[in-house]
Amino acid sequence: MADLAGVGRSMLERVFQAQNLDTFREQHWQGSFEDYLGIVRERPEVTRTAYERVYDMILSYGTTEYIDNKKRVTHYHFFDDPENDGADAVFGLDIPLMKLVNIFQSAARRYGTEKRVILLHGPVGSAKSTIVRLLKQGLEIYSRKPEGALYSFGWTRDPSRPGDVTWCPMHEEPLHLIPHDLRPLILEELERGRNGGAGRITIEGDLCPFCRQEFRELMLEHDGNLAEVLRHVRVRRLVLSEKDRIGIGTFQPKDEKNQDSTELTGDINYRRIAEYGSDSDPRAFNFDGEFNIANRGIIEFIEVLKLDVAFLYDLLGASQEHKIKPKKFPQTDIDEVIIGHTNEPEYRKLQSNEYMEALRDRTVKVDIPYITKFSEELKIYVKDFNRHRIKKHIAPHTLEMAAMWAVLTRLEEPKKHNLTLMQKLKLYNGKTLPGYTEDNVKELRKEAEREGLEGISPRYIQDKISNALVSSGKSYINPFMVLNELEAGLRHHSLIKSDDDRKRFRELLAEVRREYEDIVKNEVQRAIAADEAALSRLCANYLDNVKAYTQKEKVRNAYTGQDEAPDERLMRSIEEKIGIPENRKDDFRREIMNYIGALAVDGKKFDYKSNERLHKALELKLFEDQKDTIKLTSLVTSVVDQETQEKIDVVKSRLIKNYGYTEESATDVLHFVASIFARGDAKES
């Protein structure tokens, strides 16, 4: 037992040593009102409004700018959730997030949006709640940092006992203690002592009812001597915390019959009425509604449009006037970001309800659609189903196919008849297609006004991937297992509006399966043709013939030693693999020779890998030549001779090494591709 106690003691000692007591002391600093004025003079940013603080918090994590379809887009790293290693990272929504941050910037500069309710609107599972959660958590973390510091105050009846403090229930700004007629003077003094830097210091708002009562009684006690009153004030550093109900509030509507506005603005403390003699004494009131406790920070309204109409009056005053009306008390100033989120059916009800006109007028709507960029959608599933979190092997392209189908369900059919939905997906993902420019992609996005507001939610995809992982009898899951789960779930999907949608989604699954077939065929082809020496020999042979052809020379036959005409059949067999027509062959061959010549001028040597089209053509030609010798289709019959098996094992090892398969998944994908080739051979015969 003594040994166990020693181990426990050493563990605790390591924990104690890891503590940063200086940080703790900074975050729990207390001082006088005079001390606080010194802090304001040195660091005026401590007096920022809630909107200013949120905007500065987002910017503090840095930004990256890039061009998307000729439009400059800013990516805010804050939404990558760097504090939690990307656990709540938001992908593919840079443009909606830019609009949201622009609202914060406008509100921070007092351009008018600080008097609005910010409403995040979009389909279920589009990351609305995640965005608000990030803002709330980010504000908590920012308030602990020196650059995010803010302060509040409390009252002590005996200045000689500073530890006995009753803190302001609404965590308000200490400068509210300065009477209105003296504010210009104190601001002038604060500005005079500053060293430049941050913007002007402003004092907005008045004391809450509780602090007003304390202030009034102390003024009477000290015959109006403000200096003596302020000796009763203790200022402290304020660390925002949703769990401690300091500066972060969340309100979720409950049963309409049980909604009570006191949940927002506080309620009478009936036990204290006897002590103070009146239910209108602020000391007999609990200023603990969500609006009260969220002062100086942010309040989230979950499904805000489900609020009872009576609640909306509180919401309207809080947004437009920055005031709330607690029961039996005058309007009380608040300083907080009001942000809500809702889905489309609820928003349509808002638009059709004439009683909600005032709310519509005071709302800034930000659409948060589903992701329509395939590579960004994929990041969601890679984050959740990676090798660090999932023990079972996920075969290559499994998550890609799920993400591809999800995005296809959200896209609108292109109005151009010569463009498929799959091609549209690839254009959106940055792939270039012949005849389509960035302007065309921009036009496609513009004509599809509701794109991303309907379709399949990422949550559905995540659920079905999880089902496949659990139900798979193999040591891995592959795209077909997940696609089958996705299709099976469509029968009972509660959010699919019609049988036509269900039919369309099934057709898109078939489209994804065909795309997967093409991908794995190409992958196996490349694995078969991955013989570097053979590719180099084939390339050298091709270039010798192209050089002779373009310079109208003969080619020496290495076996007979005779000069012969360039091998047209060889050259065309390679060029046809990448669709070079007969009437374009001369241009392509000259292009290759010019490229080689330009490299030679720079003292560089030609490498077939540097020319993507030629590389692909060589691989396809080599695959065609080797396909029959490997006899891949014999896998379907399960009768494989030793020589063929050795060649198949080489291909399998390349799939494992170069493409991320396991022994079992590589075997299965080879069988699958073999069956495709067998079908093709049967059709040809």
The predicted-structure confidence for 521-535, as pLDDT tens digits, reads as follows 888 888 877 777 778
Alpha carbon of residue 401 to chain centroid: 20
Whether the pLDDT of residue 484 is over 60: the answer is yes
Q: Is residue 507 part of a domain?
A: yes
Residue 111, classed as helix, strand or coil, is coil
Q: Write down which residue in 526, 543, 563 finishes a domain.
A: 526
Mean pLDDT of the chain: 87
Q: Is residue 620 domain-shared with residue 558, that is, in the same domain?
A: yes
Q: Is residue 402 domain-shared with residue 484, that is, in the same domain?
A: yes
Instruction: Give the pLDDT of residue 95.
Output: 94
Instruction: Give the pLDDT of residue 257.
Output: 58
Instruction: Give the pLDDT of residue 680.
Output: 59
Whether the pLDDT of residue 355 is over 80: the answer is no
Q: Is residue 557 part of a domain?
A: yes
Domain count, the chain: 3
Q: Is residue 397 part of a domain?
A: yes
Contact (CB, 8 A) for 535 and 542: no
Q: From CA 507, how far away is CA 195, in angstroms rounded?
A: 67
Q: Domain residues for 421?
A: 374-526
Of the listed ranges 148-162, 194-208, 229-243, the least confidently predicted one is 194-208
Per the model's pLDDT, the better-predicted residue between 356 and 555 turns out to be: 555
Instruction: Give the pLDDT of residue 29.
Output: 95
Q: Is residue 639 domain-shared with residue 617, that is, in the same domain?
A: no
Instruction: Give the pLDDT of residue 440.
Output: 82
Q: Is residue 543 domain-shared with residue 620, that is, in the same domain?
A: yes
Instruction: Give the pLDDT of residue 507.
Output: 95
Instruction: Give the pLDDT of residue 258.
Output: 60
Q: Is residue 675 domain-shared with residue 544, that is, in the same domain?
A: no
With CA atoms as reference, report the closest residue to 505 among 493, 518, 519, 490: 490
Q: Is residue 681 domain-shared with residue 549, that is, in the same domain?
A: no
Classify residue 343 as exposed, middle or buried by CB count within 10 Å of its CB (0-12, 13-18, 19+): middle
Instruction: Give the pLDDT of residue 648.
Output: 79
Q: Write down which residue in 585, 603, 628 finishes a domain.
A: 628
Instruction: Give the pLDDT of residue 683.
Output: 43
Contact (CB, 8 A) for 266 and 254: no
Binning pLDDT at 50, 70 and 90, where does residue 171 land?
very high
Tokens of 85: 């290693």
Q: Write down which residue in 511, 526, 541 finishes a domain.
A: 526
Contact (CB, 8 A) for 555 and 567: yes
Q: Is residue 602 part of a domain?
A: yes
Whether the pLDDT of residue 576 is over 50: the answer is yes
How many other C-beta atoms are found inside a 10 Å radius of the C-beta of residue 109?
14
Whether the pLDDT of residue 243 is over 90: the answer is yes
Q: Is residue 549 part of a domain?
A: yes
Instruction: Give the pLDDT of residue 3.
Output: 64
Whether the pLDDT of residue 635 is over 60: the answer is no
How many other C-beta atoms are found inside a 10 Å radius of the C-beta of residue 538?
21
Alpha helix ranges (H) inside 152-224 = 183-192, 209-221
With CA atoms as reference, report the closest residue to 152 among 207, 71, 78: 207
Whether the pLDDT of residue 600 is over 90: the answer is no
Q: Is residue 507 domain-shared with residue 573, that is, in the same domain?
A: no
In this predicted model, what pLDDT tens digit does every residue of 420-462 receive, in sequence order? 999 999 999 988 887 788 888 888 888 888 899 999 999 999 9
Tokens of 13: 């000692």
Instruction: Give the pLDDT of residue 685.
Output: 32
Of the listed ranges 3-12, 388-397, 545-554, 660-669, the least confidently predicted one is 3-12
The torsion angles phi and psi of 538, rounded to 5 degrees, stand at -65, -40
Q: Is residue 390 part of a domain?
A: yes
Instruction: Give the pLDDT of residue 619.
Output: 81
DSSP code, position 679: H
| Residues 6 or more apart whose Cβ sits within 8 Å of residue 660 | 396
In this predicted model, what pLDDT tens digit does every residue of 63-110 receive, in sequence order? 999 988 778 999 999 999 999 999 999 999 999 999 999 999 999 999
Q: From CA 669, how far away is CA 520, in angstroms rounded?
A: 8
Q: Is residue 623 domain-shared with residue 635, that is, in the same domain?
A: no
Q: Is residue 386 domain-shared with residue 423, that is, in the same domain?
A: yes
In this predicted model, what pLDDT tens digit does every residue of 257-304 receive, in sequence order? 566 778 889 998 888 888 888 888 898 899 999 999 999 999 999 888
Q: Is residue 500 domain-shared with residue 387, that is, in the same domain?
A: yes
Q: Is residue 677 part of a domain?
A: yes
Q: From CA 144, how far away is CA 183, in angstroms rounded?
A: 29
Whether the pLDDT of residue 682 is over 50: the answer is no
How many other C-beta atoms are found inside a 10 Å radius of the C-beta of residue 186?
17
Residue 547, classed as helix, strand or coil, is helix
Of the listed ranges 72-76, 472-476, 512-516, 636-640, the least confidently predicted one is 636-640
Q: Is residue 388 domain-shared with residue 476, that is, in the same domain?
A: yes
Q: Is residue 503 domain-shared with residue 384, that is, in the same domain?
A: yes
- Give the pLDDT mean for 16-42: 88
Q: Is residue 66 part of a domain?
A: no
